[in-house]
């Protein structure tokens, strides 16, 4: 019998795991994929042949870096704030180009993962020593509330890698509304968005043949074992991604292969799974121009420019305040 009240949990992770695994149906938030091990596995995912998102966005940034320098530059300089910066592999294209062009700017990478931020700051120090970097560790929600502080000069907010797709549609809209309300009239929001396409291509991106994405998904259970003293057997769960071309939603689950009970010591909790019961772990929503324009309008933004690869597989949009 559980005796801990959710308000007594010492970390947000503990509270969210408790809430997700005592709900029906069960769920865990994808933001918890990214512990040290998860960061490493995600970097492997970005190099998989099936995970086209990174390569496509990389090419778009490479191809359009001069146009972006022109759009972002401002006589009094600007703050380049990246939400969910990760390893910054793609952003470095812009950081190097802007530095070569002697643009006056400060880079503010934001990420929930302390580990990934430290790594990024140290890489940037080596690769672009003249770059001004001010890392901020935290969740989008919290950082978005603080964004209004950055009002002394133009700010350009980056949100790459189709991270917007990890938010359910209502949260995505609220997220964009918060971005919009933190923006002054000259500020810009630059977002990378994976597009609706052949369902086979999308599904393969979340179901690679080497099983790396499956391990990324199962690492969430390993993280609960490590951090909350649980005894999940990750191999007793299958990774189950699927894509619905009607809604554009890709979803991933962990599905229990058998009836089982898991102990989570720090939560003083026993979690029972029926055979084939699922835990929903990730949403990767795919968009098109119509749905992006609608979201933008609802949030008080408008698309001022967009850039895509030759097959319209992936798009990067610049938004202005309406």
Ligand X SMILES: C[S@@+](CC[C@H](N)C(=O)[O-])C[C@H]1O[C@@H](n2cnc3c(N)ncnc32)[C@H](O)[C@@H]1O
Q: Which residues bind ligand X (CB under 6 A)?
A: 31, 34, 42, 84-86, 90, 111-113, 116, 139-140, 160-161, 163
CB 139 within 8 A of CB 166: no
The Cα 309–Cα 297 span in angstroms is 24
Q: Which is nearer to ligand X, 47 or 272 (CB)?
A: 47
Q: Which is nearer to ligand X, 135 or 161 (CB)?
A: 161
Q: Exposure pattern of 208-243 as b/e (b: 16+ CB <10 Å)?
A: beeebbbbbbbbbbbbbbeebebebebebbebbbeb
The Cα 34–Cα 108 span in angstroms is 19
Task: Give how far Cα 206 sits from Cα of 159, 293, 310, Å.
Answer: 21, 26, 22
Q: Which is nearer to ligand X, 31 or 286 (CB)?
A: 31
Q: Which is nearer to ligand X, 88 or 256 (CB)?
A: 88
Determine the residue with CB nearest ligand X.
161
Q: Which is nearer to ligand X, 4 or 249 (CB)?
A: 249
Nearest distance, CB of residue 185 and ligand X, angstroms: 26
Nearest distance, CB of residue 133 and ligand X, angstroms: 16
Nearest distance, CB of residue 268 and ligand X, angstroms: 26
Helical spans, DSSP H, in 48-197: 52-72, 91-100, 114-127, 140-146, 169-182
Q: Which is nearer to ligand X, 111 or 309 (CB)?
A: 111
Q: Can you tell me whether residue 79 is helix, strand or coil?
A: strand
Q: What angle do CA 276, 222, 111 make, to 5 degrees?
A: 115
CB 68 within 8 A of CB 144: no
Q: What angle do CA 10, 12, 16 make, to 5 degrees?
A: 115
Q: Which is nearer to ligand X, 256 or 280 (CB)?
A: 280
Q: Which of 275, 127, 136, 250 is nearest to 199 (CA)?
A: 250
Nearest distance, CB of residue 125 and ligand X, angstroms: 19
Q: Which is nearer to ligand X, 79 or 111 (CB)?
A: 111
């Amino acid at each position: 019998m559980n005796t801990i009240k959710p308000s007594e949990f010492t970390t947000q992770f503990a509270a969210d795991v408790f809430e997700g695994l005592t709900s029906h149906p069960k769920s865990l938030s994808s933001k918890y994929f990214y512990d040290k091990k998860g960061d490493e596995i995600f970097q492997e995912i970005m190099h998989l042949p099936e995970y086209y998102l990174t390569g496509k966005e990389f090419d778009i940034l490479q191809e359009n870096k001069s146009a972006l320098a022109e759009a972002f530059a401002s006589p009094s300089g600007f703050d380049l704030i990246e939400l969910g910066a990760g390893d910054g592999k793609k952003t470095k294209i812009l950081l190097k180009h802007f530095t070569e062009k002697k643009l006056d700017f400060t880079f503010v990478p934001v990420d929930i993962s302390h580990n990934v931020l430290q790594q990024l700051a140290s890489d940037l120090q080596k690769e672009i020593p003249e770059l001004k970097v001010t890392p901020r560790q935290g969740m989008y929600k919290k950082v978005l509330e603080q964004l209004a502080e950055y009002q002394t000069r133009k700010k350009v907010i980056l949100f790459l890698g189709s991270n917007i797709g990890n938010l359910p549609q209502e949260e995505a809209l609220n997220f964009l509304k918060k971005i919009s309300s933190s923006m002054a009239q000259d500020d810009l929001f630059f977002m990378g968005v994976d597009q609706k396409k052949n369902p086979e291509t999308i599904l393969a991106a979340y179901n690679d043949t080497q099983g790396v994405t499956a391990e990324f998904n199962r690492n969430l259970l390993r993280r609960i074992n490590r951090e909350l003293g649980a005894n999940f057997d990750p191999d007793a769960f299958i990774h189950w991604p699927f894509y619905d071309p009607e809604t554009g939603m890709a979803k991933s689950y962990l599905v229990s292969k058998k009836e089982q009970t898991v102990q989570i010591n720090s939560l003083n909790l026993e979690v029972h799974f029926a055979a084939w019961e699922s835990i929903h772990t990730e949403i990767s929503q795919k968009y098109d121009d119509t749905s992006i324009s609608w979201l933008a309008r609802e949030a008080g933004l408008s698309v001022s420019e967009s850039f895509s690869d030759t097959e319209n597989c992936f798009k990067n949009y610049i938004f202005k305040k309406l």
